[in-house]
Structure formats: C-alpha cells, structure tokens
Amino acid sequence: MNTPPADGEPPLPVGSAPPTGGGPSTPAPKIGRGGGGQSEGSPGRGGGNARKVALAALRRWRRAAGITGRGYGILLATVLLTGVGFRYGYSELALLGAAAGVALGCAVGFASWRPRLNVERVAEPDRVARGEPARMTVTVRNSSRMRGADLVASDRVGERAVDVPLLRLRPGKDTTVDYPVPTSRRGIVEVGPLRVTRGDPLGLVTLARSYGGISEVWVHPRIHLLRAVPAGMARSLDGRIDKVPHGTITFDSLREYVVGDELRRVHWRSSAKVGELMVREQLDTSEPTIVVLLDDRAAAHPDPESFESACEGAASIVAAAVREDLPVSLHLVSGDGNGPYLDVLTEAGLRAGDLAATLRHVRAQRLGDTLVFLTGPGGRDDLGAVSALRGAYAVVLAGLFGDRDGAPVSGGGNGLIVVEAADGEEFAGAWDGVRGW
C-alpha cells in the first residue's frame, strides 16, 4: 500500500523510493562505480569469483577423475534417466539410468586397479659431449602376483615422450625398451618418470600414474682438439722468472723418509738434527697454471649461441690442460660452480654478474700465470679492464666469440692476446696459431 503524501508535497511516482530524510522510509540503493545499478547486497564481483573458483575446481576434479567425454555422457544419462524415471514413474528409464550408473562404476573400479611395477633406467653413457650418441635402457617389471598388466605407458625424455609397450606383461615378467637420448643441446636431459595409463574396455575412464624416478643425462659442451698449450711462465720460489718447456726443480719442504725414496733426496743436516731421515720435497716452479674465466653475463651474449661457443672453448682448454697434465682452474663471472669442470659448464647459463668485482678477485688471488678470458660481443668493451691483469698474470688471452660484424680487436702494447672466432671450432684453430706464449 502506498503511503499518502504529506501536505504540500507532490505525489511520488509509482515504484520510486522516497527521498532521504523522510523519517522511517528506506534509503535509495547506491549506484556502483561502473553504473551497473547494483545494490550493496547484490552478488557483483563476488559471484564472478565464485564461478571461477567452481570452474577451476571442476577442471581439477576432471583431471583427477580421468573421466573421458564418453564417460561424462554416461554420467549425464545416468542422472537424467534416473531422475525422469523416478519423477514421472517410468520404470524403464530408471532401469536404464541405473544400468548406466553401474557401467560407470565398474569402469572406475577397473581403471583404478594399480599394478605394482618396478622401473629401472640405465644411461649409456650418462655423460656425453654435445652431438655424441647416448641411449637409455628402461626395464619395467610386473611385481604383481595375481594379475597381468595390459597398459599403455610412455617415458618422458626431455620435451618428448617415448612409448613403452606393456601389453600382456605377466606377473613376475619384465620388458625392456632401448631408445636414444637427444644430445643436440648442451645441458641436463631429464628422463622419466614413466607415465602409465590404464583405462576400461568401454573407454569411460582413463587414469594415468607415474612410476620410477628421474634419471639425468649430462650433455657436456663439445670439445675441440687444442694442440698448443702455454709453455709456462711463473715466478719461482727463488725469485726469478722461468720460461722453459720442461721446468726447473726447486726446494719446497721436508718430510719423513719412507721406503722407496731416493737416498740422494735425503737432507742429511736436517736428519742429524731431528734424529731421523728427512727427505727434500721439490717443486717444478715453471709448470704453467691456466686460469679460465668464462663470462656468463647475459649482457655479454646478446645471442645465446655465442655463449655456447664460449662454453666449448672453455671445455677445450680444460681438456687440453688435463691431457698435458697441467694445473687448470675454471671460474665464472657470476660465481664459481661446484663439481667437475665439465659438469659446471653443462649447468652454466646466462645470468647477472659483476665483472669488475670478479677481476679484482682474480687480481688479488693470483690464481695462476696464464689467464684466459672468454666472452661474447657484449664483452668487447671490457677487454681493456681484462688487459690490466697483465701485471698479475704473465700471459693474458681474451677469446671473443660470435662478434662477426665487429671491428678487429688488437691487444696493442698492453700485452693482451685477442683471439676472435665465430664458434668453438674456429677458436681451436686460432688458439693453435697463437705465438708468444
């Protein structure tokens, strides 16, 4: 019922709200920012968020349940036929709905059976150079006692999947699959886990489970043969500088005599003071110590291929030093890694780093006598700072990779040796042509 207007007030239109300040009358609804005319109690954004949460939950449930499109059709038919049959008294429809429900339940029970499988992987070999062949052997054994396994399985190899046939795998039996591992890119290739899919004969439910762990195949940078190595220039303990191909022997320390030591190395004066035989330990002071500094800054390598070439150059230098039985150390601008040097190069990637701080550390520590700095086109302007290490290191060499369009760099009179190369193979040829080690 409409309230009659007060004296002197015009009548209100039908359906309109009374003005504010009108005593006990209800206030007008507030208008939202978007002009939607929604009141404070309307669902608004809360309803939209609830729908999104419900849809996300439904998608998660579908992935977990593993029901196929055909299975959803059977589920919908079960609900509709049963509801209509009981609501309107059609026993035939209710019976069909019940049969569809039973079929769906049996399909879930059939697919839910989880076989007991043991998965073993063997990589041959587990560490290879880039481009070299590597294979993975997977053995799947059915440990179940009662039932055989008739499954569909696939093994993840990097970014692709490899089919593993498990048809009619009887209890206690095993099957073996051998396949190649891609080694076209440097890095760690993860293999596994084995993904086993089991479904019902009607195709209503499909459930996938994972078996076994993850195996790794380390793809090292490609190694190019370097025939030349530094001849050796180091400050000896006697204060002089040696540069000879075979080195000189200098006294280092004393130790106790053990059976097999040469008597000519016995230090008789110290032996008389101590009361037992003491043997001189000697050191080859002219043996070169190579320090490889790899520039892994993202700013130094606009093109990731130049970093791949720099990694190949570092791996080639490390391999040449090991082959010649020379001390070598590997350092990264972003920080030193742990483990064997080839593994460190395998895990290396472009990241942020402070070259100035690294050069100060290398200068202060004097880690060796031959410094090799490997960088990309973005590190061209930093070669002047690297050449300043000539005072702390007898030989300083810079390898510049991937800068095809840049002007040639000359070491000038600062003693810096610059080797420019497009890739690792070209660097190896230029390295062997260096004179003045």
Instruction: Report pTM.
Output: 0.70
CATH number for the domain formed by residue range(s) 117-220 = 2.60.40.10
Q: Is the pLDDT of residue 35 over 50?
A: no
Q: What pLDDT is attached to residue 149?
A: 62
- 250: confidence class by pLDDT, cuts 50, 70, 90: low
Distance of CA 167 to the CA centre of its chain: 34
- 253: confidence class by pLDDT, cuts 50, 70, 90: confident
**Between 22 and 265, whose confidence is greater?**
265
Write the DSSP string, 71-108. HHHHHHHHHHHHHHHHHHT-HHHHHHHHHHHHHHHHHH
> What are the distances in angstroms from CA 128 to CA 134, 189, 338?
7, 11, 19
Render pLDDT for 193-233 as a digit per residue (tens, 0 to 9).
999 888 888 889 888 888 998 999 999 999 999 988 876 55
Structural contact between residues 183 and 158, judged by C-beta atoms closer than 8 angstroms: no
Instruction: Classify residue 140 as left (phi > 0), alpha (psi -120 to 50) or beta.
Output: beta
Kindly state the DSSP code that residue 15 receives in the 8-state scheme: T
Report angle CA 231, 234, 237 to the nearest 5 degrees: 140
State the CB neighbour count (10 A cutoff) for residue 163: 11
Render pLDDT for 43-78 as a digit per residue (tens, 0 to 9).
444 556 777 777 776 666 555 557 888 988 999 999
CATH number for the domain formed by residue range(s) 290-432 = 3.40.50
- Quote the tokens at residue 317: 């230098």
Average pLDDT, stretch 9-25?
43
